[in-house]
């Protein structure tokens, strides 16, 4: 299934030899680094918009993911991704960016490790997303991925954070159980001391829809980078936390970096 360029309204994106050139509402921005977290920071600093949702649309994790995926489509067309999610809304955003032919999306309660349809061919990556704690599920998923040699990544979202754990690579990186132990062992100080640099904050009891789109896009960028890189990078072994809280929407500052 081919994927056409997504409609982006009055946003114009030009592919260049060094990256992308974006033009919208009189703003022009050159983007030379299309994959790393630095891209998000550059874009947030460079474009000044008063409307928060407009700014969210300008962030690469919402629209750049589709273009990055479009360009990488030929490279990952033979990849098989199993996406396990307990959030239909997040799943719909994820599938809207990814080509459906590449992914099998299911809910955790319907996932069986003995399902021959799922494991009938080699799986390149299992992506697990949840809105609510499911530790026993991830412990079992970790066991199966180790047994079958399948990389997987766990992501979660609560009311204040979107968290992307390191890629868990069987026999190459710490497994889920080891990662959890190491994380607890290393976090001996208070949360503020060890918290990753805050990127985006929004005061909301539940993340609004455009934040789900943003997080889904961010996840797609991360996955495409992983699937199109021959060797995993050190940043693939780092946890990323997007912190949604403490932005004053009425005063509407730009993103706090």
For residue range 128-157, what is the model confidence (pLDDT) as tens digits? 888 766 667 777 778 888 888 888 888 888
pLDDT, residue 80, reads: 82
| 40-to-64, 150, 189 alpha-carbon distances in Å | 10, 29, 28
Task: Tell which wins on pLDDT, 203 or 208.
Answer: 208
pLDDT, residue 242, reads: 63
Task: Tell which wins on pLDDT, 14 or 90.
Answer: 90
Domains of the chain: 12-243 (3.40.50)
Q: Is residue 47 very low, low, confident or very high in pLDDT (cuts 50, 70, 90)?
A: very low
For residue range 61-71, what is the model confidence (pLDDT) as tens digits? 445 555 555 55
Average pLDDT of the chain?
61
Sign for the pseudo-dihedral over CA of 72, 73, 79, 80? positive
Assess contact for 57 and 63: CB atoms under 8 A.
yes
Distance CA 48, CA 111 (A): 44
20 closest CA partner among 31, 6, 9 = 31
For residue range 161-170, what is the model confidence (pLDDT) as tens digits? 777 777 777 7
Mean pLDDT of all residues in 103-118: 65
In whole angstroms, what separates CA 84 from the centre of its chain? 14
């Amino acid at each position: 299934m081919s994927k056409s360029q997504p409609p982006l309204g009055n946003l114009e994106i030009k592919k260049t030899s060094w990256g992308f050139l974006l033009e919208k509402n009189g703003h022009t921005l050159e983007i030379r680094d299309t994959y790393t977290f630095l891209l998000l920071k550059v874009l947030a600093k460079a474009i000044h918009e008063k409307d928060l949702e407009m700014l969210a649309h300008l962030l690469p994790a919402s629209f750049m993911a589709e273009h990055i995926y479009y360009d990488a489509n030929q490279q990952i067309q033979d990849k098989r991704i199993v996406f396990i999610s307990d959030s239909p809304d997040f799943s719909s955003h994820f599938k809207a960016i990814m080509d459906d032919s590449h992914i099998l999306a299911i809910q955790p309660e319907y996932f069986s490790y003995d399902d021959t349809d799922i494991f009938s061919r080699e799986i390149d990556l299992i992506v697990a997303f949840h809105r609510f704690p499911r530790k026993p599920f991830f412990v079992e998923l970790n066991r199966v991925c180790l047994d079958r040699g399948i990389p997987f990544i766990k992501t979660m979202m609560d009311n204040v954070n979107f968290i992307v754990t390191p890629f868990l690579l069987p026999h190459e990186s710490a497994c889920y159980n080891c990662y959890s132990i190491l994380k607890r062992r290393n976090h001996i100080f208070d949360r503020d001391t060890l918290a990753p640099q805050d990127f985006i904050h929004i005061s909301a009891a539940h993340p609004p829809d455009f934040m789900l789109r943003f997080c889904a896009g961010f996840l797609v960028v991360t996955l495409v980078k992983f699937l199109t890189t021959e060797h995993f990078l050190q940043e693939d072994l780092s946890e990323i936390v997007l912190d949604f809280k403490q932005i004053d929407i009425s005063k509407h500052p730009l993103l706090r970096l």
